[in-house]
Amino acid sequence: MRIFDPHIHMTSRTTDDYRAMADAGVEALVEPAFWLGQPRTSVETFVDYFDGLLGWEPFRASQFGISHHCAIALNPKEANDPRLKGVMDLLPRYLVKDRVVAVGETGYDSMTPLEDEILARHLELAVEHGLPALVHTPHRDKAVGTKRTLDVVRESGIDPGMVVLDHLNELSVPMVAESGCWMAFSVYPDTKMTEERMVSILKEFGTDRMMVNSAADWGHSDALKTLKTGQAMLAAGFDDKDVEKVLWSNPVDFYGQSGRLELNNAEVAEEYDGNSIKRGGS
């Protein structure tokens, strides 16, 4: 099974996870910028974080033959902290770089007016940079939050084919299917979505514009949920082609719209010099 995990926070994972993922067939991934558990208190700390997503983390991944890409944004949880407003001004500097394949993750956490403004600005940045956008849907009031997210996507004028809404469930998937946006599902051990429920959704809605991720982070999560969903699909009667489409071709098609996917790693492992990766882009 060839796997592209389109949403996983590798900064929180160990090399054992990288090894297990490589053994499971994970060849590529996207790590969206997110929070770090402990709230950050200044803009400068985001510079170090974003640099890590572009420097050290791709190097770690490349040691296991995995191609690492990232999405850059001010995450929805921290978007409400007035001390971090300046992070929005940092984004254009990063959105032009190689291996930044999307703006994200953005979206709603508590659906505050400030989150409205910041989500709209992220979508504007995606349009300006010709990048896809990864939009997180809130865990509370999922249906209301998803509807409001789709309204903001429509108002922004971005091509819905350049937008993926993540953390969907049975309630939110019909309206996203209708919108033309891509649909993503975070399969988790206890919360969000299980592989069995995921298989039922794929049976009902088909495999077009569908992506499955492990979203693995600091909470109880499992970096192999992509593999386990593929296995559940096969057990339920889907064939290898369906699995390849959901776990590989769909993420490649979606993030490929950035023009920046690099699915061969050898270069990164050789070039990392301990501070930065010597490569193109600014």
106 vs 156 by CB, closer to Zn ion: 106
Tell the smallest beta-carbon distance from residue 274 to Zn ion (Å). Answer: 28
User: 100, 29, 33: which is closest to 265 by C-alpha?
Assistant: 29
| Contacts (CB under 5 A) with Zn ion, residues 204-223 | 215
d(CA 203, CA 161): 22
Tell the smallest beta-carbon distance from residue 33 to Zn ion (Å). Answer: 9
32 vs 272 by CB, closer to Zn ion: 32
| Contacts (CB under 5 A) with Zn ion, residues 35-94 | none
33 vs 199 by CB, closer to Zn ion: 33
71 vs 162 by CB, closer to Zn ion: 71
Task: Give me the helices (H) in the chain, please.
Answer: 15-24, 44-54, 56-62, 87-95, 113-129, 142-156, 173-179, 195-205, 225-235, 240-244, 250-256, 266-271
Tell the smallest beta-carbon distance from residue 41 to Zn ion (Å). Answer: 21
Both tokens of residue 174?
Answer: 């019909």
Both tokens of residue 110?
Answer: 């508590």
104 vs 230 by CB, closer to Zn ion: 104
CB atoms within 10 A of CB 250: 23
| Contacts (CB under 5 A) with Zn ion, residues 4-43 | 34
Tell the smallest beta-carbon distance from residue 182 to Zn ion (Å). Answer: 15
Q: What's the angle, vertex CA 261, arms to CA 152 and CA 3, rounded to 5? A: 90
Tell the smallest beta-carbon distance from residue 48 to Zn ion (Å). Answer: 19
Decide if 184 contacts 165 (C-beta within 8 A): yes
Binding site for Zn ion (CB under 5 A): 34, 215
